[in-house]
Structures are given as C-alpha cells and as structure tokens.
C-alpha cells in the first residue's frame, strides 16, 4: 500500500501510471521501454490468456512456436510489411562477447559478427509463412489454424506501462485457407471471439469495424478491429484481425494443389491481442481508490478480513471466516482469507480496494455474535450486513451483478459520450468533449491525414453494423456513403 | 506419414532426428540453431507446462514476467556468472533499420546504435535480482517465490532439436529467503518437484544428486540436478535447482531488515526445466515405429479408427465409434475419432503409432456385429479383442497400466545398465557399454577434467541418497568418501 492516488480528474495519465505501479501490476525496468509484469498483474494476464486460449481451441485452433529471430531479408519480402515493421526494431548483429583487452569488462567480439543481421520479431508473419511453405502442399492441408503465444519487440520512443512498451506479450494467430471467402470468414470469426472476450469477460463494450487504409496493418488487405472507449474520452484499439489476401503466400511462394487439380496461392489471416488489453481493462473500470476488476478476471474474487481485538477474538473470528472461505472455495470461487496479524484491518481494506478485489467480506465480534457478515462491493463501494446463512449464494449473485453492472456502466458511458455530428464545428466540439464521433468522411486518405494533422483524431473504424446512410464529408463536403467513427486514441 | 524410420540400433542419433520431424514434433528453422515447435509437439509441451505450473503454484509460487533484454553490464556484476553466460549470446547493438541508399534493400541504421548493448537473456538472474532490490526491504517481504515461463537464447554451434537449440522455452524460478537453510530447503524442494514430475508424469526414472564444482551453474554455491538415462546409454540432465547463496544479493546489493533489526543480504535459489525435457521424453520411451508417449502427457490418449467398406458400413461403424468416443470424452479422456474417409485404416494405424498415441481402438463389421472392439496398446504393440460393454473401464485400466509399465521398463533398463566399478579398466569397459557408472573419485576438479578428456565422461551427479562408502579414486587411487555417478551425456 502506498500513498493516495492522483485523481482521474486532476491528471488522468498520472492516475493511470500511479495505479499500475501501486496496485502491483507492473513497473518500468532498467531496460528502456521494457516493463516488469509483477505477480499480481501477471495473474490477471494469465486469466485472460487462459480464457482466450480456450476460446481459440474451441474454434479449432492449435498452438505452436516459431523462432524469436527473423532474418533481416525476410522482412523485405512483403513490400508493405517492411515499410510498417522494419524500421524501429531490435537488431542482433553479433553472437559473442569477450573480455576487454584492457580488463575493463566485457565487450562485443568483432569477430562474431553475423553474416545477416537478425531482427527480434515485431510480428511473425514472415517467419511463419516461410515455414508454412513446407506445411502446405494440398487443399487437404487447409485450413491451417495456428496460434502462438509469444513476446514481441517494437522499438518505441515513448512508452507507457501495458499500453505501449518495447517488449510486450501477445498471441498471434496465423491461418491459411483455400479461398478468399474462407479467410475473410476466419478474420471475422476471430473478431467476434475478441469482441465476446472483451464484452463477456472484461466487461468492456467494443465497437466492431474495419480500419481505413491509413490505419491498416502493414501487409493486410483488410484490418478488422475492436475499439473501446476509456474514461478520459480517448479510444483504445483492443484487438485486430487481418485478412491478408494472398500477399504473404505470394511473398513466400506458398501454393497448394486445389480440389480441381490446379495450383493456387494460399489465402491468409492473422489476428492478435496483447498485454495492451491490461491497460484497457484498468482504464475502463478503475476509480480514484484504485483498480476495479470484473469478477470473471479477478485473481481474487472475494477477500475475507477479520476485525478483532486480542488473540481470543482473533481465533474465533478467523475460525468462522475460515469456514466461509472453505465453503466459497469448494464452490469454485477464488478466495483469500487475510489473517495477517501484523496489518490493521483498515490498512487491508484500502489495500484490497487498491487491488480491485470485487467483493470484501469482513467480520467483527458483533457480526460473530449475531451470525452476520459485512459485504462490501468494490465497484460501488457500498456495504451491507447480511446473515451468514446463505452467504455463498449471496456472494454468487453479487459477483454476477458486479460483472453485469461494470459492463452496463461502461456501455452507458460510451453511449453518452458518442456524438453524431454533421458540421466541422460540431466535429471539433465533440472531439474536445471526448468520446466517439460519428461523422461523414469522403473516403480519401488525404482527408483522413488532414483531419489527423488538424485535430489529432483518427478514424477508429468503419463500423461493421453501420447504416448505409449517405451524407457529406465533415471536412471537405464531398460525398460519403457511411458515417465512420473518429476519436483521439491511445 | 513418411518413410520408415532408421532403427535405433543402426543409428540412434539419426533415428531421433527423423522421429522428431516425422512425428510432427519440431523442425529446424531457417534461423541457425532455432527450431519451430510444431502443433503436435507443442501440445505435449503445453501439457508438461500446465502440470508443472500447477505443481509450482501448489508449492506457493507465483508467475511474473521480466524483460527479454539484459544490459551488457549486468552480466558482469556476478563474477562467476559472467564467465558462464556472457560468451555465446545474441547481442542487440542497434534499434533501427533503414532503406539502403542504393535501393538494394534494408540495412542497419548506423545512427541507431545503442549506447550500451543489450543481451538477449540466456537466463534471468541478473535482471531479476536488479528488480528484487526494489521488492525486498524487510523479512516480511520474504520468502519471495516467483517463477517465469520464457524463451531464452544461448548461441550454440552444434544444435539438435529440443536437446540443444539456440532459442529454447523454459521456466525459471527465482526465489529469495531470509536464511541459508530456507534457501537450501527451497532448492531441494524444487528438485523433488522436478523428480516427481519426471517420474510421475513423464514415466522417466531420475537420479537425484548434486553437481561437482566443474558442472555447477555459473554463480551457484550448489547445483542440484535430476539425471535420466536414455536408451543409447547416454545420460541427460533433465532439470537443475541451484542454491545461489548470497552471490546475486551481493552483486545487486539486495539487503533486508532482519527480525532482529539488522540488515542482511538475501539468500537465493533458481531452478529450471526446458523444452529439453521433450528430448528426454522422446528418447526414454520411443521405439523404431515412432514416438511412445506416457498417457498422462499424451495430447491424444485414445484414437478410434473405423474399418469399413462402402458408405453404409462406414455410417454404422463411425456411429458406433462416436458413441464410444463420447463416452470416453465424458469420462475425461483425451480422445480422437479419425473418420477421415480419404485415408486407409492401415495408413492411420501407422500414423498414430508414429505419433505415440497410447491406445488405439479399431472397429470393423465383424466387431460391430459381435459387440466387440479391437484394443491395441502402443507401448507393447499388442492387440486384443474386448467386448464393447465395459470398454470405458477397460481403457481406464489400460492407460494406467501403460503409464506404470513405461516407468517400470525405463527403470529396469536404467538399473540393468548401471554398473559399479572399482578399477580403471572396469570403468572404461562400463562406459563403452553405456549407462551410469558408479565409481570412486578423489574429489578434485583436475581428476574430473582428466577423466573427461580421456573418456568424454562427466560426473553426472553426486547422489543425494548415496552410501557414504569410502574407497579409492578409480583414476588416481587417492582417497574417496563416496561413489559418484559418471556417464557420457547429452
């Protein structure tokens, strides 16, 4: 436990940074741009990973592992890809160190220079498609539905814990298909998986859409995305799923024998979410007292805290709470009984609030005598006294209610900050107010660039479920066939 | 399915390499020394990982994640550690590429040279202890029991799939303790966890021991290890657990406020197992027909194969097998029904043998009519016809029997190839025959080096449960207080 957090209102960015560190989620390391994910933060990521992994397996995917290093020349094989990824990356040039001749320490051995430099993977399309070439001969080998959990490195100048770090953890799905339609269907299916995860587990409502050409993944034909809205009115891209067409198959010469006996290039997708989701989770729900976690992803769903004076009371109350804890554990809840005698109960209350534990049960001598227990919920910070009898079903109902309520609250906020505008003045005002801005756009990259330059807003997505309403571009007045969603973004 | 494997007897090493590739476990990548772990191989590693992870959690450990990169200077902070690890490693010197001025592709941008080179972690003691400095102030912060699942890189000149690769996957536990005794206890406890996993899950008997000074981890006071014996008479180190004393605490200045109000350096352990275990698993049980897997780690425990002529028979038999598969799945078994009509049943038999599926159930028209099913076990390659009634309990019993039998067979082989010798001639003969050689040794590094130079044998371990029998060193004739275990090793 540390000092009080800066409030969101006074400095949202500072609040976030303090919260991440003080709630023991992550910290900066001495290696520029790289973070340490602390055990409590990692426990949340592990839960996210386990759930997503099961969702991938349920949709027919298997895991594999490909090398960390990519030969420099591979990046150049797909023309658009190299523009997007070959710039800011970690380059391995040598494979040996040696003792300095002047005894001053160790130095790079100039004799151990690699013939071709290796890039620490910023994403794995190239190394994977170079491998798929061996794996795919015939339509019988398709679809190939593979996922990888891995670390990747993109050299970032300005980093923020979880949101933008030089090294981050992620999963990257890479699939191969017989037809364009099947690949598009896969890319859309995985977008739905991401949306289901975001909404059903993270309690974070998302917009589903497709990126404009400017925001597309380097090497993709289409990039689908889910976009979430943070409390400060800025959007956050929470996951992307790419239809890659035949671009990588062409670059790595991956062809298959078709059902008709011909040879055709394979159709591809890739899709990923990363530890950035941790940032989205934190910013969607948390408040000035600290982290707020949806029960489904909380490493601890229920914490039990005894309130007592003296050893005799302590033994009685801890004993009673142990019974409740055992009962809840047996029912499958993730539970912690904090009977550490070296910390005061007030300290513990603040600590578990900071850490976002959804439900706190506290018991004092009066509760023990009366057969009651105090139940506090983290999201609303409300408390009530309930009978010990039936505590299990009460807790169960409460956790479900918190999960739903967090989603509803986030959705309410998103809806209330989403504005539909028709003029440039309205557009600017809506951007200043924060939130998603639905506006007509003439469909050109030039206009998008111009708007970005003038306002720092980007097109977050062209909604998949948008109405085919015609109108005039908010910036140029040219014709538009559909409103798109703008926002300033992380 | 591919061509027949080379036999173990004709060329064990070739047999292994062919098996790993043909059973779809792993393959070499274009990046020198780095492997691709294919989906089937990865599914086995995932099971190993899940089981180990639960064992670590059951012994009080939590997971975290530390940076991939280590500043070069960190490696130098612990004197012995730098000698062991700072030599053959991947060195990141630059953080940007750019288009070549002559348009020939992309080149390293000389302006993007790092001030201090970064090493891709060969192991994480240094970066972790640099972080622990912030995490540990008082005895209340101890013990600190953290594990990390990660990729590591050690530049290897001669590599073999799973056994020795430049990049490999592993877990590394890093713990901090108040006292020397507690740290030793932790190191020993994790050795027991590894041994339990090797024997109880991998069905691979292991010797538990401590390494001689020559074979100790760079930076450790003591290295405990488990050593397994492969079918070709060579030993394989399957896991290590290190008591690090205060070496890393000293190097990174990690002190804690003691219960008595003083300041003391923290005591440490680290321990790890890697994808090398895959190599051990493969070599312990497999045969000339392919992989043999212990049921507890098999991604598929039972495969069901229909034998039929024509669509009508197919529908009936597949229907009946589906019923069996559903029943087995509901009972918690990992089951696959292969009803692919494009492959013959003979092809499937060979394929699942190659892939080491422990139990195969096959059903033809005669079985269907008679209410029977053919049950084949992979380990003995024996077959029997059993009634469909009670197939679930039959399969359950059979899987347990296979698990036990694989362990027994491996243990029998290890015992029968372990030789106790007293003379140099016996020592040389025993080494030639293969297996563990128990011999007296004078306890000096010089003699160990000499024996290694003359015979390629190393001291695998000084057994923890060895008899305190005195004798004369098999090489020098000097006094010895205990037999140690020699072998040639992977």
- Please determine, for residue B2, whether its predicted confidence score (pLDDT) is greater than 70: no
Contact B117 A140 (CB under 8 A): no
pLDDT score of A80: 75
Which residues in chain A are contacts of B127 at CB distance < 8 A?
A: 29-31
A66 interaction partners in chain B (CB closer than 8 Å): 29, 36
- Mark yes or no for CB contact A38/B117 under 8 Å: no
Contacts of A342 in chain B (CB under 8 A): 140
Kindly indicate the confidence band of residue A266, based on its pLDDT and cuts at 50, 70 and 90: very high
Percentage of residues of chain B with pLDDT beyond 70: 99
Domain definitions of chain B by residue range: 12-70+127-285, 295-401, 417-487
Q: What is the pLDDT of residue B271?
A: 98
A:43-72 residues touching chain B, CB 8 A cutoff: 43, 46, 62-72
Q: pLDDT-derived band of residue B314, with 50, 70 and 90 as boundaries? A: very high
> Are A302 and A358 contacting, i.e. CB atoms less than 8 angstroms apart?
yes
| Residue pLDDT, tens place only, A166-177 | 999 999 999 999
pLDDT at A212: 95
Q: Say yes or no: A136 contacts chain B, CB-CB below 8 A.
A: no
B110 touches A at CB < 8 Å: no
> Helix and strand tally (H, E) in chain A?
14, 26
3-state secondary structure of B261: coil
Does A108 contact chain B (CB < 8 Å)? Answer: yes
Average pLDDT over residues B91-105: 88
Distance from CA of A252 to the nearest CA of B (A): 13
Per-residue pLDDT tens digits for B99-148: 888 877 889 999 999 999 999 999 999 999 999 999 999 999 999 999 99
- Chain A residues close to B115, C-beta within 8 Å: none
The pLDDT value recorded for residue A2 is 55
pLDDT of residue B99: 84
Separate counts of helices (H) and strands (E) for chain B: 14, 26
Using the beta-carbon criterion (under 8 Å), do B90 and A87 form an inter-chain contact?
Answer: no
What percent of chain B is modeled with pLDDT above 90? Answer: 92
pLDDT at B80: 76
In angstroms, rounded to a whole number, what is the distance separating the alpha carbons of residues A428 and A422?
11
Per mean pLDDT, which range of B19-28, B38-47, B105-114 is the poorest?
B105-114
| Arithmetic mean of pLDDT, B18-28 | 97
DSSP label of B164: B
Question: Which whole number is the average pLDDT over A125-130?
Answer: 96
Q: Give the gyration radius of chain A's Cα atoms.
A: 26
Cis, peptide link before residue A143, omega less than 30° from 0: yes
Contact assignment for A31 to B167 by CB distance below 8 Å: no
Distance from CA of A107 to the nearest CA of B (A): 8
**Residues in chain B within 8 Å Cβ distance of A91:** 92-97, 108
Query: A9 in contact with B at a CB cutoff of 8 Å?
Result: no
- Residue B309 Cα distances to A261, A335, B312, B316, B370, angstroms: 26, 57, 8, 11, 17
B87–A96 C-beta distance less than 8 A: yes
Instruction: Tell me what pLDDT residue B103 has.
Output: 77
* Chain A residue with minimum CA distance to B53: A46
A276 touches chain B (CB under 8 A): no
* Portion 147-186 of A in contact with B at CB < 8 A: 150-151, 153, 155, 167, 169
Q: Which fold has domain B417-487?
A: Translation Initiation Factor IF3 (3.30.110)
**Cβ distance of B62 and A46 shorter than 8 Å:** no
pLDDT, position A237 = 97
Q: Do A92 and B88 touch (CB under 8 A)?
A: no
Among A38, A41, A53, A67, pick the best mutation site for testing chain B contact (most B Cβ within 10 A).
A67
Query: For residue A468, what pLDDT band results from cuts at 50, 70 and 90?
Result: confident
B12-70+127-285: what fold?
BirA Bifunctional Protein; domain 2 (3.30.930)
Tell me whether A146 touches chain B (CB under 8 Å).
Answer: yes
Catalogue the E-assigned strands of B300-410: 302-306, 335-337, 359-363, 372-377, 383-387
Distance CA B90, CA B26 (A): 22
Alpha-carbon distance of B212 to B245, in angstroms, equals 16
The CATH number of domain A304-398 is 3.40.50.2000 = no
pLDDT digits (tens, 9 = 90+) for B178-214: 999 999 999 999 999 999 999 999 999 999 999 999 9
CA distance to A67, A76, B72, B102, B249, per residue, from A93 (Å): 16, 17, 14, 21, 32
How many beta-carbon pairs under 8 angstroms link A with B? 174
pLDDT at B86 over 70: no
Count, residues in chain B? 490
HEC readout, A395-431: HHHHHHHHHHHHHHHHHHHHHHCCEECCCHHHHHHHH
Task: Determine the Cα–Cα distance for residues B43 and B34; give it in Å rounded to an integer.
Answer: 19
How much is the average pLDDT of B467-476? 92
What per-residue confidence (pLDDT) applies to A140? Answer: 95
ipTM of the complex: 0.96
**pLDDT at residue B83 tops 80:** no
Q: What is the mean pLDDT of residues A212-223?
A: 93
Pick among B73, B97, B138 to test the A interface (most A CBs inside 10 A): B97
| Range B295-401 has CATH code 3.40.50.300 | no
Phi, psi of B172 (to 5 degrees): -130, 120
What proportion of chain A, given as a percentage, has pLDDT over 70?
99
A31 in reach of chain B (CB within 8 A): yes
Which pLDDT tens digit goes with each residue over A10-26?
999 999 999 999 999 99
Write the CB contacts of A160 (distance below 8 Å, at least 6 apart in sequence). Answer: A16, A17, A279
Residue-level pLDDT at A82: 76
CATH class, range A12-285 = alpha beta
How far apart CA A271 and CA A196 sit, in angstroms, is: 15
At the topology level, CATH places domain A419-487 in: Translation Initiation Factor IF3 (3.30.110)
CA B120 from centroid of its chain's CA atoms: 22
pLDDT band at A465 (very low <50, low <70, confident <90, very high): confident
Beta-bridge partner residues of B269: B175, B243
Cα-based angle B199, B205, B206 (whole degrees, multiple of 5):
100
């Amino acid at each position: 436990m540390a000092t009080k957090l800066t409030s969101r209102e006074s400095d949202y960015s500072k609040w976030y940074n303090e919260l991440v560190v003080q709630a023991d989620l992550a910290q900066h390391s001495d290696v520029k741009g790289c973070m340490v994910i602390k055990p409590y933060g990692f426990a949340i990521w592990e839960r996210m990973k386990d759930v997503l992994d099961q969702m991938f397996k349920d949709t027919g995917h298997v895991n594999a592992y490909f090398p960390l290093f990519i030969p420099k020349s591979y990046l150049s094989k797909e023309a658009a890809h190299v523009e997007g990824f070959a710039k800011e990356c970690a380059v391995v040039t040598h494979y040996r160190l040696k003792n300095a001749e002047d005894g001053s320490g160790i130095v790079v051995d100039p004799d151990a220079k690699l013939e071709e430099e290796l890039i620490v993977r910023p994403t794995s399309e190239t190394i994977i498609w170079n491998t798929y070439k061996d794996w795919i001969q015939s339509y019988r080998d398709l679809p190939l539905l593979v996922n990888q959990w891995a670390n990747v490195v993109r050299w970032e100048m300005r980093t923020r814990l979880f949101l933008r770090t030089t090294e981050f953890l992620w999963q990257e799905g890479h699939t191969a298909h017989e037809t364009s339609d099947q690949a598009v269907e896969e890319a859309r299916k995985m977008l739905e998986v991401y949306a289901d995860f975001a909404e059903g587990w993270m309690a974070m409502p998302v917009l589903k859409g497709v990126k404009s050409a400017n925001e597309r993944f380097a090497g993709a034909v289409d990039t689908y995305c889910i976009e979430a809205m943070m409390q400060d009115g800025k959007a956050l891209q929470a996951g992307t799923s790419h239809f890659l067409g035949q671009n990588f198959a062409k670059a790595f010469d991956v062809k298959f024998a078709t059902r008709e006996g011909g040879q055709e290039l394979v159709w591809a997708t890739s899709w990923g979410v990363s530890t950035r989701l941790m940032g989205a989770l934190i910013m969607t729900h948390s408040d000035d007292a600290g982290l707020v976690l949806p029960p489904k992803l909380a490493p601890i769903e229920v914490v039990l805290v005894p309130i007592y004076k003296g050893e005799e009371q302590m033994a009685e109350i801890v004993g009673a709470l142990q019974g409740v804890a055992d009962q809840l554990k047996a029912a499958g809840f993730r539970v912690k009984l904090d009977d550490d005698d070296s910390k005061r109960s007030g300290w513990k209350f603040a600590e578990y609030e900071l850490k976002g534990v959804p439900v706190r049960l506290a018991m004092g001598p009066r509760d023990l005598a009366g057969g009651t227990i105090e139940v506090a919920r983290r999201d609303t910070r409300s408390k009530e006294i309930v009978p010990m009898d039936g505590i299990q079903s009460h807790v169960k109902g409460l956790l479900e209610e918190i999960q739903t309520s967090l989603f509803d609250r986030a959705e309410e906020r998103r809806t209330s900050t989403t504005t539909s505008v028709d003029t440039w003045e309205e557009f600017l005002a809506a951007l200043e107010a924060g939130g998603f801005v639905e506006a007509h756009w003439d469909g050109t990259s030039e206009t998008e660039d111009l708007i970005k330059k003038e306002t720092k807003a980007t097109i977050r997505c062209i909604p998949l479920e948008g109405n085919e309403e015609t109108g005039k571009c908010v910036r140029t007045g040219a014709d538009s066939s559909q409103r798109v969603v703008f926002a300033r973004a992380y």
